[in-house]
Amino acid sequence: MFGFGKSKAHREIDAQTLKAMLHEGSALLVDVREPDEFAAEHIAGAVNAPLSSFSPKNLPDAGTRTVVLQCAGGKRSAMALDHCAKAQSAIDTHLAGGIGAWKAAGLPVERG
């Protein structure tokens, strides 16, 4: 599939799981959408690392937290996970359905 869809190595979590992880401080959320998309709306606490220039080595140090990738619907975060796998990075988790699933679950986003 050449990066589209999920690979067997990809771990998907749902919006409620991510919410709990963020609340307890056990996740570093990385939004791989482009800067204009991130500026328009994003999940509180997310850092932006656009897929167009994505490299796992450029991500902030997560310490003991799990790095969770997120995009609009899941496709770009899965592609970023493919980059992580090729780089032999331990990052293997993304938000199923992206920010769309987060909003569909009634969870808040920051705008502007």
pLDDT on residue 8: 55
Q: Is residue 99 part of a domain?
A: yes
pLDDT on residue 112: 79
Domain count, the chain: 1
Q: What are phi and psi of 61, to 5 degrees?
A: -70, 120
CA neighbor of 94 nearest in space, from 110, 79, 112, 111: 79
Q: Is residue 101 part of a domain?
A: yes
Q: What is the pLDDT of residues 63-75, one digit of tens each?
A: 999 999 999 999 9
Positive or negative, the CA dihedral 23, 47, 72, 68 is negative
Q: What is the pLDDT of residues 72-100, one digit of tens each?
A: 999 999 999 999 999 999 999 999 999 99
What predicted TM-score, i.e. pTM, was given to this entire model?
Answer: 0.91
Helix (H, G, I), strand (E, B) or coil at 74: coil
Domain that residue 41 falls in: 30-111
Residue with tokens 């919410």: 19
Average pLDDT over residues 6-27: 89
Q: What CATH number did the domain enclosing 86 receive? A: 3.40.250.10
